[in-house]
Amino acid sequence: MANFAIMGFGTVGSGVAEVLRMNGAAIAEKLGEPLRLKYILDVRNLSATPYADAAVKDFAVLENDPELDVVVESIGGARVALDFTRRALLAGKHVVTSNKELVATHGKELLAIAREKNVNYLFEASVGGGIPVLRPLFQCLAGNQIQEVAGILNGTTNYILTRMVKGGVPFDEALKEAQAKGYAEQNPAADIEGLDAGRKICILSDLAWGKEVLPENISTQGISAIDLQDAAIASGAGYRIKLLGRAMKLADGRQAAFVAPHLVPESSPLASVDDVFNAIMIRGNAVGDVMFYGRGAGDLPTASAVMGDILDALAHRDRRRNLGWSQSAELIDLDAELPLHWYLRGDFTPPAGSQRLSDRAVIVGPVPGTEVRALAQRVGAQTLLPVLR
Amino acid sequence: MANFAIMGFGTVGSGVAEVLRMNGAAIAEKLGEPLRLKYILDVRNLSATPYADAAVKDFAVLENDPELDVVVESIGGARVALDFTRRALLAGKHVVTSNKELVATHGKELLAIAREKNVNYLFEASVGGGIPVLRPLFQCLAGNQIQEVAGILNGTTNYILTRMVKGGVPFDEALKEAQAKGYAEQNPAADIEGLDAGRKICILSDLAWGKEVLPENISTQGISAIDLQDAAIASGAGYRIKLLGRAMKLADGRQAAFVAPHLVPESSPLASVDDVFNAIMIRGNAVGDVMFYGRGAGDLPTASAVMGDILDALAHRDRRRNLGWSQSAELIDLDAELPLHWYLRGDFTPPAGSQRLSDRAVIVGPVPGTEVRALAQRVGAQTLLPVLR
């Protein structure tokens, strides 16, 4: 018998309980022993639910139970979740989480505690929901030097962009639709402004290169300023507008990470990733480009990833997974040092050497951000977006 | 110091040596010790290569070296490779392979020997080249009951179909192009007739449900009979023709597996997988649909997967991965019992209840194969292909 607890019984936490209910017999067979949901820690009253017997209010019950193997942290945020995760690891429990904010901001510290206590801190569900991507990155692709990671990491913004591009719906209206469908929160800032994608690209970067990149140190541009005109011009020229998180390691060992709406050529498999789906492209120096696609959010998909981590933690009970990141990455000055291709729209004479997309839009590059911004100002461009190559 | 050997120094074997040369320092850092290519077993004369010191001709050297940890089998086929794999496992060596024929036909026996000797037999490279798919399937998705696997598993046929559909090139000519580019062998039967895809869908099925499905027991239809007319009609109606390997588990626990050209709707992410790329879609009851995409062949991509397995075998030296399949799966009578949607083309009056794609083509279903074949004969249909839903 293996025992686990769920802290925070919201969408993800209750999804994990539901996956155990659906698939408990198959899970026990794979594990070689039954998996029991022993505790649910939540402020909610669960007495009228099937989980009444597991409900507890005091974290110390989990902390002090020597029979408890794994704790799922689905509280969210970086306050209570941080305190409980620290204490659970210090008490020798494996911890599995979907909490991207906590992993992105405190992962280094928590992984160090896990290393010291010889337990696992696993967080596959923190990026891409149910899509297996972190474990393939650090394990299957371990023979590669990773060169770049680029992903559609936020389903809400991808839904909105899909409606804008394919439906011709303006941003404000597409956002309202997303809210009506439950894809966007009433306060959608974290999604719309790219903060959620920023946390996820930091976690991908941390794992790809073993050095910490903090969300507060990367450039993040959201989608609220995207104009239907640009969506139409891009589509007409064989591009789609997608919000991408990108992280790369340069030849000199320095790194870059940022979030911005991009023009993505239709030949890229990222271009056809629509609606709430997510996809992450990883470029390794042996494998080339591989892509992982699926639902980036939702109770059961996210719970699928959490359950995979629970089973992996239990399979590595004695010998923890060697996983983590240490000192801070050395980030380049993104604007000054990273030459990209750029899309510009405006009532201008096309700059020399530019590729015309329409009578009012061009692609230039590769040039760094400072340079292209000066050009955009000089010619009076109304839109400036990077282009994925 | 960890030591490994390569048996068979062809495309894959020399690719593995090249990946070690490219990434040896990074690999040693991840592993925590240097990884050394101690032996290369091949009939070729390697004395003029940088690998002269490692070259051996006698398998017994590998078998009897107590310092040898991992053996890479990239011989191919199921004769010498079978003998050497058996003996390496019995000698307590971990074995890593890209040999889909051997895994599909003798995996059950070899995994049983590995279990008995407490060593790993790993074969990520046998399906999808460098694409991480087998490990995500049995590990990240372990919390799911897998319902279906559908994949573009053969790059040669996907290249040919892409040329036919997008370039309007007839089959014979597209095949010649593929041969000229080195994508297709001079005797292309194993690819063209779907045998290669058949082996791969069997391995995916074996891992998804833990029961053996042998290639000789599944229905395999290749692409040589695909007509440009059908490619054009399909494209016009929002479908692409793709050779898919499919495996599914029915509600009653019985299974199905087969290979056939399908009409794939453009809304499926499999539809936009072109050229030599592969992609595998996995449907789990918690995660929904996830897809894995990348280069399905080639020296370095395949070597990337082999190297990932070598590192995983070494990380699980003491406690082997719990992986394998046992007794035979109970397969349904595919033709009689699996209702699918079907595409029919011919000079006929559209059957009642069918969906018209053009004035000469319809989709009917869901109906089982025996029934639709009777219908096709009755109306005089010239083409009959399943449709992915």
Known catalytic residue at A200: yes
Q: What is the pLDDT of residue B284?
A: 98
Q: What is the pLDDT of residue B313?
A: 96
Which amino acid does the sequence have at B177? E
pLDDT of A323 over the 90 cut: no
Of B247, B244, B151, B245, nearest in space to B208 by CA = B247
Alpha helices in A225-298 (DSSP H): 228-236
Q: What contacts A302, CB < 8 A, 6 or more positions away?
A: A11, A12, A15, A98, A125, A129, A130
Q: How confident is the model at residue B321 (pLDDT cuts 50, 70, 90)?
A: confident
Q: What is the pLDDT of residue B351?
A: 87
Q: How confident is the model at residue B320 (pLDDT cuts 50, 70, 90)?
A: confident
pLDDT of A16 over the 80 cut: yes
Residue of A100, A200, A211, A249 marked active site:
A200
Q: Could you tell me which chain B residue has the CA closest to the CA of A279?
A: B291
Mutation to test the A interface, candidates B135, B140, B275, most A Cβ within 10 Å:
B140
Q: How confident is the model at residue B88 (pLDDT cuts 50, 70, 90)?
A: very high
Q: What is the pLDDT of residue A321?
A: 78
Q: pLDDT > 90: what percent of chain A?
A: 94
Strands (E), chain A: 2-7, 35-41, 55-56, 70-73, 94-97, 121-122, 146-152, 211-212, 219-220, 239-249, 255-265, 277-284, 288-295, 326-328, 340-345, 355-358, 361-367, 383-387
Q: Which of A19, A143, A322 sits opposite B27 (nearest CB)?
A: A143
Q: Could you tell me which chain B residue has the CA closest to the CA of A15?
A: B286
Separation of alpha carbons A79 and A83, rounded Å: 6
Mean pLDDT of A171-196: 94
List own/partner pairs for B355-361 with CB under 8 A and 24 or more apart.
B357/B233, B357/B234, B357/B236, B357/B237, B357/B239, B358/B233, B358/B236, B358/B237, B360/B233, B361/B230, B361/B233, B361/B237
* B367 within 8 A of B290, measured Cβ to Cβ: no
* A241 within 8 A of A152, measured Cβ to Cβ: no
B177's enclosing H/E stretch is helix B171-180
First to last CA, chain A: 51
Q: How confident is the model at residue B280 (pLDDT cuts 50, 70, 90)?
A: very high
Alpha helices in B271-363 (DSSP H): 299-315, 334-337
Write phi, then psi, for B377 (nearest 5 degrees). -70, -40
* A156 within 8 A of A179, measured Cβ to Cβ: no
Q: What is the pLDDT of residue B16?
A: 98
Contacts of B290 in chain A (CB under 8 A): 130-132, 292-295
Q: Can you read off the two tokens belonging to residue B336?
A: 């009689």
Chain A nearest C-alpha distance from B251 (Å): 14
DSSP one-letter code for A301: H
Contacts of A307 in chain B (CB under 8 A): 142-144, 286
Q: ipTM value of the model?
A: 0.95
DSSP one-letter code for B213: -
The string of DSSP codes covering A99-142 is -HHHHHHHHHHHHHHHHHHT--EE-GGGSSTTS--HHIIIIITT
DSSP one-letter code for B351: P
Q: Can you read off the two tokens belonging to residue B367?
A: 């109906």
| Burial class of A265 by CB neighbour count within 10 A (0 to 12, 13 to 18, 19+) | middle
Contact B311 A130 (CB under 8 A): no
Q: Which of B272, B300, B308 sits opposite A140 (nearest CB)?
A: B308
Q: How confident is the model at residue A319 (pLDDT cuts 50, 70, 90)?
A: confident
* B84 within 8 A of B59, measured Cβ to Cβ: yes
Q: How confident is the model at residue B211 (pLDDT cuts 50, 70, 90)?
A: very high
Chain A nearest C-alpha distance from B299 (Å): 9
Mapping DSSP to helix (H, G, I), strand (E, B) and coil, where does residue B264 land? strand
Q: What is the pLDDT of residue B324?
A: 85
Q: What is the pLDDT of residue B25?
A: 96
Q: How confident is the model at residue A322 (pLDDT cuts 50, 70, 90)?
A: confident
Q: pLDDT > 90: what percent of chain B?
A: 94
pLDDT of A310 over the 80 cut: yes
Q: How confident is the model at residue A326 (pLDDT cuts 50, 70, 90)?
A: confident
Q: What is the pLDDT of residue A192?
A: 97
What confidence tens digit (pLDDT) does each residue in A259-283 have? 999 999 999 999 999 999 999 999 9
Mean pLDDT of A295-301: 93
Q: What is the pLDDT of residue A375?
A: 95
pLDDT of B334 over the 90 cut: yes
Q: What is the pLDDT of residue A199?
A: 98
What confidence tens digit (pLDDT) does each residue in B42-64 have? 999 999 999 999 999 999 999 99
Average pLDDT, chain B: 96
What confidence tens digit (pLDDT) does each residue in A368-381 have? 999 999 999 999 99
pLDDT of B4 over the 90 cut: yes
pLDDT of A68 over the 90 cut: yes
Separation of alpha carbons A2 and B305, rounded Å: 32
Chain A nearest C-alpha distance from B68 (Å): 19
Contact A310 B143 (CB under 8 A): yes
Q: Can you read off the two tokens belonging to residue A289?
A: 């480009």
Contact A293 B295 (CB under 8 A): no
Q: How confident is the model at residue B344 (pLDDT cuts 50, 70, 90)?
A: very high
Q: Which of B140, B286, B304 sits opposite A124 (nearest CB)?
A: B140
Separation of alpha carbons A90 and B17, rounded Å: 42
Average pLDDT, chain A: 96
Separation of alpha carbons B230 and B241, rounded Å: 8
Of B344, B355, B341, nearest in space to B380 by CA = B344
Residue of B200, B211, B242, B249 marked active site:
B200
CB-CB neighbours of B189 under 10 Å: 12
pLDDT of B174 over the 80 cut: yes
Q: Can you read off the two tokens belonging to residue B9?
A: 């120094």
Q: Classify each residue of B224-237 as buried b or exposed e, where b means 16 or more C-beta atoms within 10 Å of its C-beta.
A: bebeeebbebbeeb
Q: What is the pLDDT of residue A320?
A: 78
Contact A293 B291 (CB under 8 A): yes
Separation of alpha carbons B358 and A328, rounded Å: 60
Best mean pLDDT range from A166-170, A184-188, A205-209, B294-298: A205-209
Contact B319 A322 (CB under 8 A): no
Which amino acid does the sequence have at A9? F
Chain B nearest C-alpha distance from A16 (Å): 10
What confidence tens digit (pLDDT) does each residue in A232-250 have? 999 999 999 999 999 999 9
Q: What is the pLDDT of residue A63?
A: 97
Mutation to test the B interface, candidates A120, A207, A287, A307, most B Cβ within 10 Å:
A287
Of B3, B135, B125, nearest in space to B73 by CA = B125
